[in-house]
Structure 1
Amino acid sequence: MMQRKLALLVGITTFTLLLVLRWEHVIRLVSLMRADSEFTLQPRQRAPMETITPIPGSRHLMVSAFKDHRRGGVIRVISIICRQELQPLYCVLCTDDDANANADYNAITDPKARSRCTTSKAEADMHSDNFGFPFHTSDVFCTSGSLKQATHVSITTDQTAIHNLTFLLIQNQDVKVKSFRYNFTTCISNLFGEYNNALQFAQTMEVYKLIGVQRVVIYNTSCGPDVEKVLRYYSREGMLEVVPWPIDKFLTPSAGWNYDLHHGDIHYYGQLTTLNECIYRYMYQSKYLLLNDIDEIIMPYKHGSLEKLMDTLQQQHPNAGVFRIENHIFPKTQFEDTGRFRLPQWRRVPGVNILEHIYREPDRKSVFNPTKLLIDPRRVEQTSVHTTLKQFGSVVAVPFDVCRIIHVRVPLQGHLAKDQLLVDKKLWEFEKHLIPSVDLALNQSGLL
Structure 2
Amino acid sequence: MMQRKLALLVGISAFTVILILRWQREMTLVNTDTPSAEPALQPRQRAPTETITPIPGSRHLMVSAFKDHRRGGVIRVISIICRQELQPLYCVLCADDDANANANADYNAITDAKARSRCTTSPAEVDVHSDNFGFPFVTSDVFCTSESLKQATHVSITTNQTVIHNLTFLLIQNQKVKESFRYNFTICISNLFGEYNNALQFAQTMEVYKLIGVQRVVIYNTSSGPDVEKVLTYYRREGMLEVVPWPIDKFLTPSTGWKYDLHHGDIHYYGQLTTLNECIYRYMYQSKYLLLNDFDEIIMPYKHASLEKLMDTLQQQHPNAGVFRIENHIFPKTQFEDTGRFRLPQWRRVPGVNILEHIYREPDRKNVFNPTKLLIDPRRVEQTSVHSTLNQFGPDVAVPFDVCRIIHVRVPLQGHLSKDQLLVDKKLWEFEKRLIPSIDLALNQSGLL
3-state DSSP of counterpart to 2:288: strand
1:114 CA displacement: 3.9
Matched, 1:24 2:36: yes
Report the Cα distance in structure 2 between the residues aligned to 1:112 and 1:443, rounded to whole angstroms.
53
Pairing 1:34-433 to 2, within 5 Å after superposition? 41-99=41-99, 102-103=103-104, 105-108=106-109, 114=115, 116-177=118-179, 179-433=180-434
What is the Cα deviation at residue 160 of structure 1?
A: 1.2
| SS of the residue 1:148 aligns to | coil
Distance in 1 separating the partners of 2:82 and 2:304: 44
TM-score of the pair, normalised by structure 1: 0.91
| Distance in 2 between residues matched to 1:339 and 1:347, nearest whole Å | 12
- Determine the C-alpha separation between the residues in 1 that align with 2:148 and 2:281: 25
Question: 1:79-111 CA distances to partner (integer Å, 9 max, x unpaired)?
Answer: 000011111000000000111563464143557
Residue aligned with 1:430, SS: helix
Q: Is the 8 A contact 1:320 1:394 kept in 2?
A: yes
Q: CA deviation at 1:258?
A: 1.0
Partner SS for 2:97 = coil
Asked whether the equivalents of residues 62 and 79 of structure 1 are also in contact (C-alpha less than 8 Å), the reply is: yes
Does structure 1 conserve the Cα–Cα contact (< 8 Å) formed by 2:99 and 2:105?
A: no
The residue that corresponds to 1:8 in the other structure is none
When the two structures are superposed, what TM-score results if normalisation uses the length of structure 2? 0.91
Residue deviations 1:137-164, cap 9 Å, x none?
0000001124521000000001111110
Q: Tell me: CA distance 1:261–1:21, structure 2 relative to 1, closer, same or farther (3 Å).
A: closer
**Kindly tell me: are residues 342 and 145 of structure 1, through their superposed partners in 2, closer, same or farther at Cα, counting changes over 3 Å?**
same
Letter in 1 for 2:303: K
In structure 1, stretches of 5+ residues that fail to align are 1-10, 30-39
Partners of 2:329 and 2:189 in 1: CA distance: 18
- Post-superposition shift, 1:47? 1.3
Percentage identity across aligned positions? 87
Q: Distance in 2 between matches of 1:205 and 1:15?
A: 62
Q: Which amino acid in 2 is paired with 1:59? A: R
What CA distance in whole angstroms lies between the structure 1 residues aligned with 2:99 and 2:123? 24
SS at match of 1:87: coil
1:224 maps to amino acid: G
Of stretches 93-102 and 377-386 in structure 1, the one that deviates more from structure 2 is 93-102
Q: 1:226 to 1:268 in 2, by over 3 A?
A: same
Other-structure match for 2:10: none
**Residue 372 of structure 1: SS of its match in structure 2?**
strand
Paired amino acid for 2:244? V
Q: For 2:409 and 2:437, locate their aligned partners in 1 and report how far apart those are by CA, in whole Å.
A: 21
1:225-270 deviation digits (Å, cap 9, x = unpaired): 0000000000000000000000000000000001111000000000
Give me the whole-angstrom Cα distance separating, in 2, the residues matched to 1:20 and 1:243: 39
CA distance in 1 between counterparts of 2:173 and 2:140 reads: 17
Q: What do residues 353-375 of structure 1 show as CA deviations (whole Å, max 9, x unaligned)?
A: 00000000000010000000000
8 A Cα contact 1:332 1:409, kept in partner: yes
Distance 1:171 1:83 in 2: 26
Stretches of structure 2 that go unaligned for 5 or more consecutive residues are 1-22
Structure 1 runs of 4+ with >2 Å offset: 14-25, 100-105, 107-115
- For 1:18 and 1:343, the matched residues in 2 are separated by 73
Counterparts in 2 of 1:160 and 1:368: CA distance versus 1, 3 Å:
same
Change (3 A) 1:313 1:236: same
Structure 1's 332 and 23: CA in aligned 2 closer, same or farther, altered over 3 A? closer
